[in-house]
Amino acid sequence: MIKHYPYEALGRHDLGWLDAHFHFSFAEYRNRDRMGFGPLRVINDDIIKAGTGFDTHPHKDMEIITYVRKGAITHRDSQGNQGRTQAGNVQVMSAGTGIFHSEFNLESEDTNLYQIWIHPRNKGLKPAWDAREFPQTPVQTSLTLLVSGRAQDKEAGALYIDQDAAIYGGRLEAGSKVQHRIHTQAYLLVSEGQIEVEGLLMKKGDGAEITGIDTITLKAIEAGEVVIIDVPQTH
């Protein structure tokens, strides 16, 4: 089953400096029917104006993944970590026992990113932060594994989170097709272009819950980019 959530139907909060679209209940968007998907709790599609950002604030017991689609974001936290993550790249923060951080767009253009929160397997972990560059060339046969909760995937170069989850991503050239295996259930995001998923046309900003399907075929109607978050059924 594929349940489609069009971009224009998402929750929204516009602060001027921040234009946020929420896939799940968050902040001023209150929706008891959209409290998450398995351990996946938050997907925020944020546009952050140049020279603005999130002042220092706390997090605890959450795996927070930021996927930058346009521009860049600069991170600083109470553990002494800092770094600039630019378009196409990913950062992961394990909040664990507690961490304070700030995220600012220090660029001359707006930054567009996904902020993804996933409940961890274990509470009380040591806070951590990491970031990585990933290939920008269009995929040919499979999506790139960006984030994983399996130790062997970390050793192969994926960013690690404390959850039985995996995040894949990739750019597709117009007319190309890619098959992707769903391990349990997945939330699919179209971050650019138009992608057909098992006959369903999805456009930039759309999301979809995928359940009860082992494999999906992604066809790029126009050049595009997708992110797939594979998660267990409960947390």
Separation in Å, CA 208 to CA 24, 182, 187, 195, 211: 12, 13, 6, 12, 10
Domain ranges of the chain: 2-231
Render pLDDT for 4-40 as a digit per residue (tens, 0 to 9). 999 999 999 999 999 999 999 998 888 999 999 999 9
Hey, what CATH class is 2-231 in?
Answer: mainly beta
Q: Please list the alpha-helical segments (H only) found in the chain.
A: 151-155
Render pLDDT for 176-232 as a digit per residue (tens, 0 to 9). 999 999 999 999 999 999 999 999 999 999 999 999 999 999 999 999 999 999 999
Residues contacting 3, CB < 8 A, separation 6+ = 208, 209, 211
Which of 163, 162, 223, 158 is CA-nearest to residue 190?
A: 223
% of the chain exceeding 70 in pLDDT: 100
Rounded to whole angstroms, how far apart are CA atoms 22 and 93?
A: 20
Residue 26 tokens, joined: 């968050």
pLDDT at 154: 86
pLDDT at 235: 53
pLDDT at 28: 86
Query: Residue 105 pLDDT > 80, yes or no?
Result: yes
pLDDT at 234: 76
Q: Indicate the pLDDT class of residue 149, thresholds 50, 70 and 90.
A: very high
